[in-house]
Amino acid sequence: MLGQVELRPDYPLITRRLRLRPLSAADTEDLVAYRSREDVCRYVPFEPMDAAGVAEKLDSGWSRQAIASEGEAVTLGVELDGTGRQIGDVMLFFASAEHRGGEIGWVLRPGHSGHGYATEASHAVLHLAFDQLGLHRVIARVDARNDASLRLGKRLGMRREAHLVSNEWFKGAWSDEIDLALLDSEWAAQHAEGQRPCSWSLASPSLEPPRQRIGERNATVTVVGHNGHMPHQLAQVNIARLVAPLDDPQLADFVAALDPVNAAADAMPGFVWRLQTEEGNATSVRAFDWDVAGSAGVIVNMSVWASVEDLAAFVYGELHRQVLRRRREWFRRMNEAYMACWWVPSGHRPSTDEAEERLRYLRDHGPTPHAFTLRRHYPSPTTGGAGQAVHGAEEWLCPA
């Protein structure tokens, strides 16, 4: 059993892109903006709410700032850093002191999916659950039709523990429930030294954020912005020409590898964002149609990273290498450049049109500060050496 339990975090919780804090009456308009929507309420245990309904919830517990005993919960607003705008909320419920059990739930404002915000916020709340409240087990109860939440649970490292068939009369029909779970031992293994690094660890607010630090390669000075974030981040696009349609059995192993590879990318240090649809990947995104070249179609991958080294650590990591070794089975050989990198202001999310322009430029002009490769890249514009090309490490020359 737990001893005396008290969870009183220092707010706000600050992650790489978000601020989590208790809800208040000032959030009423933002809460109504998404909790009044039928599509948001479809799979969750509440009906659409108006301002009066939200006010009632705030008075009855949503504004709680701490957990002092079993049966209490905190619901934290998720605010996009630097905007002051709330884009969702995450709930942590202390279900049992005897069994050290809790439950997590999340709601995200439509229009903000596909950026990893819900994953980042929920992971921060799991830090509270395991590292501060000392829970043994945290569950998430998900409607079996809610594919987006099931994928989110998987990205958090939660196991699919139970499938309850027609267990509840829910909003006019019998529904199935999927129970996801995560143990403290599994959480510890995820964060153990030498295991998968935690890319959502809570940042410690500081009155004097570091103004610069020395990069690992070439002793590059990297200037940090006033809020602790890099002024520039690295965008990348890479494309592939398919040898067959994605639903062809020849590509079955590639399709099966998408989720674990994407989850590995999401968990890497320095990962910021990747292009994805509600399916959790970008295979259905239409772009680069002009570059099909007689193939079965072009698929595109786009992402943003903190640095060249962070991107390279993923690209040339063993899991991604395993996929690269089989690329000839799934993709046509390309003589033209198929990957391009460029620097973007922090917070910028590149469009596919932007990516197409950068790749075209790279093909026409070779590596330049406007568009470059990992093998021959250019420092961030904030370093003062943006015009000087840098050659990648020897192990970057042959990815497979």
CATH number, domain containing residue 56: 3.40.630.30
C-alpha span between 122 and 24 (Å, rounded): 20
pLDDT in tens, 164-213: 999 999 998 999 999 999 999 999 888 764 444 454 545 433 323 332 22
Residue 44, domain member (yes or no) = yes
Segment (H or E) for 358: helix 352-365
Question: What total number of domains does the chain contain?
Answer: 2
pLDDT recorded at residue 392? 65
C-alpha span between 52 and 286 (Å, rounded): 42
For the beta carbon of residue 44, count every other beta carbon within 10 angstroms.
16
287 and 176 part of one domain: no
Place of tokens 């932007």: 354
> What does the block give as tokens for 153?
């649970």
43 Cβ contact list (under 8 Å, min separation 6): 142, 143, 145, 146, 149
Residue 176, domain member (yes or no) = yes
Cα angle 201-205-207, degrees, rounded to a multiple of 5: 155
pLDDT recorded at residue 360? 95
Q: What is the pTM of this model?
A: 0.56
- Cα 334 to the chain's mean position, in Å? 30
pLDDT recorded at residue 222? 30
- Write down which residue in 156, 191, 226 finishes a domain: 191
- pLDDT-flagged residues of the chain (< 50): 1, 193-197, 199, 201, 203-228, 399-400
pLDDT recorded at residue 270? 85
147 and 292 part of one domain: no
176 and 236 part of one domain: no
Range of the domain at 120: 13-191
pLDDT recorded at residue 396? 56
166 and 292 part of one domain: no
Residue 106, domain member (yes or no) = yes
132 and 255 part of one domain: no
C-alpha span between 307 and 327 (Å, rounded): 25
Strand-pair partners of 376: 391
162 and 231 part of one domain: no
DSSP state of 246: T
DSSP state of 382: G
C-alpha span between 179 and 195 (Å, rounded): 26
C-alpha span between 169 and 175 (Å, rounded): 6
Residue type for 251, please?
L
223 and 325 part of one domain: yes
> What does the block give as tokens for 174?
């019998």
